[in-house]
Amino acid sequence: MVNSTLVATLYVNPVVGNDSNAGTRLNPYKTLTRALRETTTHNTIIQLVSGTYSTASGEVFPLVIPAGAMVVGHKATKGKGIVISGSGEYQSPSFGSQNVTLLLLGDAQLMGVMIENAAAKGTGVWIESSTPTLANNTLMNCGREGVFVSGSAKPVILDNVFVQNAASGLVIARTSEGEVRRNVFQKNALAIAISDFAAPLVANNTLSQNRLAIALSRKARPVLRNNIIEKNTQGGLLINGNAIPDLGTPQESAGNIFRHNQRFDLQNLTSTKVISAGNDLNMKQVKGLVECIAPKKDTHSLSMVNPNNVYVSSFIDLIGHWAEPFIQALVNMNLTRGFADGSYKPDKPMTRAQYAFLVANAFNPSPKHPDPDFIDIPKNFWAYDAIKIAARGGFVSGLSDRTFGHAQNVLRLQVIVSLANGLALNTAHPDILRGYIDYHAIPDSARTAVATATQQRIVVNYPEPRLLQPSREATRGEVAAMVYQALVIIGRTPAIPSPYVVSPLTNKNLG
């Protein structure tokens, strides 16, 4: 069935546009202010191009995005180069006069822009008793906070970057709820503040290098799941007033990871005991009334994978990438990480040292071989211990000259053979390899291992499942996908449907 709802698209270009134009692709408006005045229908998309949207370019703040409107910049880069910068007065029903850049009404959507409000006590985005979506944006350098949620709002806040905001990255107050998922909070004074009776779901976020990660006050009741809270200079989670966070239950692991926070990981200043179930906590870093319990059923590893097979990435360069679900699942299991710039670089080759580090963490294999004596790996090398663990466990081996070649890129064939041998799987007959278009390129010495990995559905080939390309350097995305498949085989995590996982039945039929 085809949706017949008419969707209007308006175009804005602050460099070459003119507000007397028609707002088309070839004749864009100059200001977002002008485009917003034309959003008379419930379904309007406003497409922004690179440039700065400010008072100097003709914008009038605060900019109000009405219900049904979608303002879109460039989602894949979190709005890089598409800057909305300015401040105007907004009278909040719950907090009075505020300095605000954007106000989101109803089910408005804002995606793929950078937002700044340098005014004293300036707020980037204000959400008041509405249900908008804020996704794939960068909120930075605001005089107070990046986003303020108030009233009875229920926003969806996904995959944004909150960085260097003077007071807070995100504030959620009054009776607000909603979802805060897969965002990155970095170098804010306070990453997330939750107050009053607010009860949002805060899940799969990364909060690092802030002064304080999360502060709860009054009667806040947030649900915290699978967040990484690390390297914050004051502490991780601070609980004040009568706040009671949901940090897991006897039936459900919360899966939050607290590590390397300076003064505390978790501090409860209230007189009510807080229950922590299934969180990674250093008890020396826990202060106040906190009881850590073990859930009746360990659901942590299963909860890492979206049960509806819908995956949205934490990284700016994974959106729509074929390996996104595999990488995101490994990130959620704390087995792999991206780079400091917020990217993962899924198409970049992986070095042999990086591969050894990944498999050592993922499988923690028992020793099967003596300690390796690689002459090119000094003891102070960052992956020294991981390479030893992976080598003793049978996942990696050295080169013929007693070197490991840590800086060399790992080949696809090496990854496949490594996983088959390291897991000591039951061997399969090489006839299954005839399903590959290029099966003649598989060395004789590796055919049994490749057949075994194929039979066990470890092999992942993109974009053509029948093309193995054994001698090509493996990308970070390919390695992540095959390591994840190996974890599926040993029962550590559920399978992720993908057309690029090679099916042994399909390979046999094609052979």
Q: At what angle do helices 476-489 and 324-332 cross, to 10 degrees?
A: 60
pLDDT tens per residue, the chain (511 residues)? 233 334 588 999 999 999 999 999 999 999 999 999 998 656 789 999 999 999 999 999 999 999 989 999 998 899 999 999 999 999 999 999 999 999 999 999 999 999 999 999 999 999 999 999 999 999 999 999 999 999 999 999 988 999 999 999 999 999 999 999 989 999 999 999 999 999 999 998 999 999 999 999 999 999 999 899 999 999 999 999 999 999 998 888 898 999 999 999 999 999 999 999 989 998 899 999 999 987 764 333 333 333 333 344 467 788 778 899 999 999 988 898 888 777 899 999 999 999 999 999 999 888 888 888 899 999 889 889 999 999 999 999 888 778 999 999 999 999 999 999 999 888 899 999 988 988 899 999 999 999 999 999 999 998 888 899 999 999 999 999 999 999 999 988 898 888 889 987 545 444 4
Q: Is the entire prediction scored with pTM above 0.85? A: no
What span, in angstroms and rounded, lies between the C-alpha atoms of 59 and 52? 10
Q: Residue ranges of the domains in the chain?
A: 72-300, 324-350+409-510
* Residue 422 and residue 395 in contact, taking contact as beta carbons nearer than 8 Å: yes
Topology (CATH) of 72-300: Pectate Lyase C-like (2.160.20)
Write down the residue that tokens 């004596």 correspond to. Answer: 373
Residue 474 φ then ψ, to 5°: -85, 135
Strand, coil or helix: what is 122?
A: strand
Structure-derived torsion over alpha carbons of residues 96, 183, 290, 236, reported in degrees to the nearest 10 = -80
Strand 96-104 with 88-92, pairing: antiparallel
DSSP 321-365: -TTHHHHHHHHHTTS----TTS---TTSB-BHHHHHHHHHHHH-P
Q: How far is CA 372 from the centre of its chain?
A: 36
**Would you tell me how many other CB atoms lie within 10 Å of the CB of residue 95?**
17
Contact between 152 and 176 under an 8 Å Cβ cutoff? The reply is: yes
Q: What gap in Å lies between CA 440 and CA 148, rounded to an integer?
A: 60
Model pLDDT, residue 135: 92
Q: Which long-range contacts (CB under 8 A, 24 or more apart) does 364-368 make?
A: 364/389, 365/389, 365/390, 365/392, 365/393, 365/394, 365/395, 365/422, 366/393, 367/392, 367/393, 368/392, 368/393, 368/394
Predicted pLDDT of residue 314: 60
